[in-house]
Structure 1
Amino acid sequence: MLKIGDIRELIRLLDETSLSEIHLESEDVKLHLKKPEPEHTVTYAAPVQAAPAVAPQPVVQAAPAASGQAPAVTNERPAAANDEGTHVIVSPMVGTFYRSPSPDAPSFTEVGSVVNSKTVVCIVEAMKLMNEIEAEVNGEVVEVLAENGQLVEYGQPLFKIRLS
């Protein structure tokens, strides 16, 4: 019989490796863990015209194929397409944003902090699991875009990093 700690360890293994799924089967237990398919963002830009101003074209974000939902259409600019030379770290899940590992501990990063791709910049708590979010890039934190203790959505911008 699998214990909850064993299942958590398998989930951690799936997250930290290039494996896309794990399937275990015994006489009394069947377990199948699979990473979700990555979402795709398609951006359409209007041609540049000197005469009348043209409203920005909508951005279409495709939902995962398994959800069966239609793509969401918004007029917002994608988070990753901000200023050239910067990178926006977005929340990989819905959860609660925390800037430090505990209420009395200092923040992982501040504006002006130098980070590398493996630097933990915050935690997003989801379903009682504390998920450490890494910077993904080398650079300097130029803006913190979420408030400590705030509920964040999937894809919501959390930090702006000036690339180095």
Structure 2
Amino acid sequence: MKIQEIREIIKLVDGSSIEEFSYEFEGVKVKMKKSGSGNAQQAGSSSVQAPQTPKTVGPPSFSAPAKEPNAEELVSQEAPEVLVDNDSEYHKILSPMVGTFYESPSPDEAPYVQTGTKVTADQVVCIVEAMKLFNEIEAEVDGEIAEILVKDGQLVEYGQPLFLVKAN
């Protein structure tokens, strides 16, 4: 788990009504509990405090579950239909955060990529918006877009596959 991903989780927890959050994936454990001041902090010997941000009016981007989530509950329940027969030969571009998937830089512009588009490792393939921040997602490998697994405007989860790329 990357530090950027941990920071995103801290921001989401801090901006929500969740009092306590824990997550375990591939041997990495993250546990946060809000202190009395409303800041999220990581439990353990060292603590990380997220800066307190002003509340904005509008629908919340993250809702609190009734109980503490486990790893299975954090994974999206809606798996996209994969049309490619053998995806083991394909590189999956995964969402680095929870947010909204956008295929183009603005609604009136063409998508960054389409099925069959040749891409380079540092080429932007989409945007994932989280907490009013637009994060450009890069292809990570040189190759060809084999399949787009999500629709424009769809909410995506952390680690959810967005694209399949046939690597060169």
Query: TM class, shorter-chain normalised?
Result: 0.5 to 0.7
Match of 2:30 among 47, 50, 66: 66
Match of 2:100 among 96, 103, 106: 96
TM superposition shift of 1:85: 2.4
Change (3 A) 1:114 1:127: same
Give the Cα separation in 2 of the matches to 1:94 and 1:84.
25
**Is the 2:104–2:112 Cα contact (8 Å) retained in structure 1?**
yes
**SS across alignment from 2:105:** coil
Give the Cα separation in 2 of the matches to 1:96 and 1:150.
6
Q: TM-score, normalised by structure 1?
A: 0.56
The residue number in structure 1 matching 2:6 is 36
TM superposition shift of 1:67: 1.8
Q: What amino acid sits opposite 1:65 in the alignment?
A: K
Is 1:148–2:152 an aligned residue pair?
yes
Q: TM-score, normalised by structure 2?
A: 0.54
Q: Percent identity between the aligned chains?
A: 50
**Is the 2:5–2:97 Cα contact (8 Å) retained in structure 1?**
no
Q: What amino acid sits opposite 2:6 in the alignment?
A: P
Q: What amino acid sits opposite 2:31 in the alignment?
A: S
The residue number in structure 2 matching 1:124 is 128
CA deviations on 1:88-120 (whole Å, 9 max, x unpaired) are: 101000000000000000000000000011010
**Is the 2:91–2:166 Cα contact (8 Å) retained in structure 1?**
yes
Match of 2:109 among 105, 112, 115: 105
Give the Cα separation in 2 of the matches to 1:70 and 1:125.
23
**Is the 1:62–1:70 Cα contact (8 Å) retained in structure 2?**
no
Instruction: Tell me the matched-pair count.
Output: 107
Give the Cα separation in 2 of the matches to 1:95 and 1:70.
18
Give the Cα separation in 2 of the matches to 1:98 and 1:65.
30
Q: Which ranges in structure 1 are unaligned for 5 or more consecutive residues?
A: 1-14, 21-33, 38-59, 77-81
TM superposition shift of 1:62: 3.5
Considering fraction of residues, name the structure with more strand: 1
Structure of higher RCO (CA pairs closer than 8 Å, 6+ residues apart): 2
Higher radius of gyration, 1 or 2? 1
**SS across alignment from 1:124:** strand
Q: What amino acid sits opposite 1:163 in the alignment?
A: A
**Is the 1:116–1:135 Cα contact (8 Å) retained in structure 2?**
yes
